[in-house]
Structure 1
Amino acid sequence: MAKTRVVGLDIGTSAVRAAEVEFGSGGPGASRATLHRFAEIALPAGAVRDGEVVETSTVAGALKQLWQKGGFSTKKVHIGVGNQRVIVRDLELPWMPLAAIRKTLPFQAQELLPVAVDSTLLDFYPTSESVSETGRVAQGLFVAAVRETVTQNVLACESAGLTPEVVDLNAFALTRSLVQGDLMRRTVAIVEIGARITTIVIVVDGKPRLVRHLAQGGDNATDGVAAALKTTQVEAERLKREIGIGHGYNPELAPAADSISHVSTTLVEAIRGTLGYFTQSNPQTPVETLVLTGGAVMLPGLGQFVASATRLPVTLGSPLQHMEVARSAGDARSVDSRIALPVGLAYGVAS
């Protein structure tokens, strides 16, 4: 039986992460996938900014270290993009084959984009179809990524000797890795809180219906603690996790606690606003549960705070509960909150 191995590569703000996943002959969905390898390497501040590679040589060097550390069996990778320079909009078009729809996108984009069409890469993700008074129509998500954002990430990979075979939207990758089992039949909000970017994906019956990127993440709280206590980023990160949200703390740390609370409240209000917008537009499919993932979600008390603010049940996303984990993957289960994106990018072999 032929098997396929795919490496999903997440180029994040604070680290690069890769996951090597093996699929059976039928690909994702036909059999239980196996995680064979996972590794991550920290990045210095500023090497990646707002989801886009800024220092190509620095990131390329980290990717070389990542491949040496992880022992991945291939240098072919699936990479993701996802920041505020990636635009995702609802779009309804007369039905036609997907290849034909994609050819029409430059004409559709002229009315949907605030930037020049020739500076973007365009795609369409079909979610449903129906019959209207004018005939058969296709509904889906129109995706436009500023070309430079994609190009810089691809260049960093190529400089490290890697070959990007697929460039995917991070939101779609998160959907594949986290919305499985019972969640495939529900309306779910995935919230991935990274270092500087928070991605929100609302998924109905396994299909993403809304995508939002917020320019805020866990490092914003770290910055606030560092400024409040006039300390280093490393110490501020440690203190942030010690203080958390809604926990007791030394009175001397009150300015830091206030900063964490302010940043967290601002972020959660933006999340709640996105959920409210979706519910108002789709009253027949209200969000039933919220799945948290990303490196910043381990802040003590954050899950309870989000649950209280949104009045939704909140769970931590766990892509590995639907997978086999080989011994060669080491302690991958201990980094569940950081592995969802690279695993989902690997699942893109099905797209």
Structure 2
Amino acid sequence: MAITVGLDIGSGAVRAAVVESARSGAVLRRFVEMPLPPGTVEGGDVVDEGAVTEAVAALWKRNHLPRKRVVVGIANQRVIVRQVDVPHLEEGELIEALPFQVQDAIPIPVEEAVLDFVPLEEYTTPEGDLMMSILVVAAQREMVEGLVRIANGAGLSVLSIDLQAFGLVRAAFGSDLLGGGSGPQALLDIGASMSQVAIVRNGITRFVRILPTGGEHFTETLMTGMSLSREDAEELKREVGVAAQGVPEGDDRAEIGRRILTRTADALIEEIRGSVNYYLTQAGEHSLERLVVSGNGARLPHLANRVARSLNTRVEPVRVLDHLKVGRLQMTEPELLALQPVLPAAVGLGLWGSFVVPPSNRFAHVA
């Protein structure tokens, strides 16, 4: 039995999940979180490394969490995820040749990047050349090393730096990934300052896109458009949500707020739809089988249904607890259920190496 701790460093909080892996299945042993000061992390980028290190250290000390086998998630606009076709190579050879093979496919110098890949499939060209498609992940080296410094500064031993989207997929779909499903399935995670779209087919994550819009943007549009304080904007956002369909026309406070939120939602939905349509076109697919939504931003009333209507697919809330057992957590069942939207990132990182979504072994070398 191995115990792994997933560490999710978000814009509003740091969260940790202790996951025990055994033959009988994974068990969630702990889930804890601690808020971060505003501006400490923005859009997935750590702005104040010292403050984050202090928060992580305090979270571990307060909750007596294991300090070894910690997997840290990475996700922001500076992480590049792209499908690339390369000549067929054995894994060891491909690891060595990866910088050369992908240097023209990523917008950052390979000497400044940490590279990882997920094998997708093999094929033969009409000329008889054996090729393979891989999903390449490229992150700026200084950013990855910064996450390792934070963990080490808090007294933790890093097992791996993992693409957060891989963790989200592991937590959201769990052992369902082994079945593959009959069509592409998507995960939409709407966090505080960004959203992530991941598309899975036959048990493998084949597409990831990170969008620069999250729940905070909805709050900020209300603050600007209606001259509200942050507290009042948050309250109104939770109260009115977006329109189930159409755009509201009324002039009372609730309708004005709903109209502003709906327009913000439609801008995000357009980005989501563009991302999904790009994948479907490239993959020769017609539609998604289903859309699973997670993240605090997904709590916004009617937003998930509006996204699903735009994509012409069925929508489901994330149900992390359907895919793993739960130990004796220090919280009630209603409290745990209320946390389901924010569980996937940390829990999925704790599931590193489980199911068939490959872990980011190459990133681990940085630690």
1:257 maps to what in 2?
258
Q: Is 1:349 the counterpart of 2:353 in the alignment?
A: yes
1:235-288 per-position Cα deviation (integer Å, ceiling 9, x unaligned): 321221111112799912444322211211100111111111122222246321
2:364 maps to what in 1?
none
Listed as ranges, the matches of 1:1-351 within 5 Å are 3-24=1-22, 30-132=23-125, 133-182=127-176, 184-185=180-181, 186-246=183-243, 251-284=252-285, 286-328=287-329, 330=331, 331-350=335-354, 351=359
Preserved CA contact (<8 Å) 1:289 1:312: yes
Preserved CA contact (<8 Å) 1:13 1:195: yes
What is the TM-score with the length of structure 1 in the denominator? Answer: 0.92
Counterpart amino acid of 1:346?
G
Superposed displacement of residue 14, structure 1: 1.1
1:4-36 per-position Cα deviation (integer Å, ceiling 9, x unaligned): 110000001111111000011xxxxx4321000
Preserved CA contact (<8 Å) 1:37 1:70: no
Measure the CA separation in 2 of the matches of 1:220 and 1:9.
24
1:71-103 per-position Cα deviation (integer Å, ceiling 9, x unaligned): 323354101111111111111222222121011
Superposed displacement of residue 168, structure 1: 0.7
Measure the CA separation in 1 of the matches of 2:43 and 2:100.
29
Equivalent residue of 2:329, what SS? helix
Measure the CA separation in 1 of the matches of 2:139 and 2:15.
22
Equivalent residue of 2:145, what SS? helix
Superposed displacement of residue 116, structure 1: 1.8
Counterpart amino acid of 2:134?
G
Preserved CA contact (<8 Å) 2:84 2:102: no
Counterpart amino acid of 2:350?
A
Preserved CA contact (<8 Å) 1:6 1:349: no
Equivalent residue of 1:175, what SS? helix
Moved more, 174-183 or 296-305: 174-183
Superposed displacement of residue 322, structure 1: 1.2
Measure the CA separation in 1 of the matches of 2:33 and 2:152.
18
RMSD: 2.0
Superposed displacement of residue 329, structure 1: 5.1
Preserved CA contact (<8 Å) 2:243 2:258: no
Measure the CA separation in 2 of the matches of 1:182 and 1:156.
34
Equivalent residue of 2:221, what SS? helix
1:37-60 per-position Cα deviation (integer Å, ceiling 9, x unaligned): 001111122101121111012111
Between the two proteins, the alignment pairs up a number of residues equal to 344
1:27 maps to what in 2?
none
Moved more, 105-114 or 253-262: 253-262
Measure the CA separation in 2 of the matches of 1:115 and 1:85.
9
Measure the CA separation in 2 of the matches of 1:151 and 1:257.
42
Preserved CA contact (<8 Å) 2:119 2:132: yes
Superposed displacement of residue 165, structure 1: 1.6
Moved more, 242-251 or 200-209: 242-251
Preserved CA contact (<8 Å) 1:127 1:209: yes
Superposed displacement of residue 160, structure 1: 1.8
Measure the CA separation in 2 of the matches of 1:253 and 1:338.
27
Moved more, 144-153 or 126-135: 126-135
Preserved CA contact (<8 Å) 1:59 1:156: yes
1:141-179 per-position Cα deviation (integer Å, ceiling 9, x unaligned): 011111222222222222222222200111111121222
- Structure 1 segments unaligned to the other structure (5+ residues): 25-29
Equivalent residue of 2:189, what SS? strand
Moved more, 300-309 or 146-155: 146-155
Equivalent residue of 2:269, what SS? helix
Preserved CA contact (<8 Å) 1:9 1:77: yes
Equivalent residue of 2:96, what SS? helix
Superposed displacement of residue 327, structure 1: 1.6
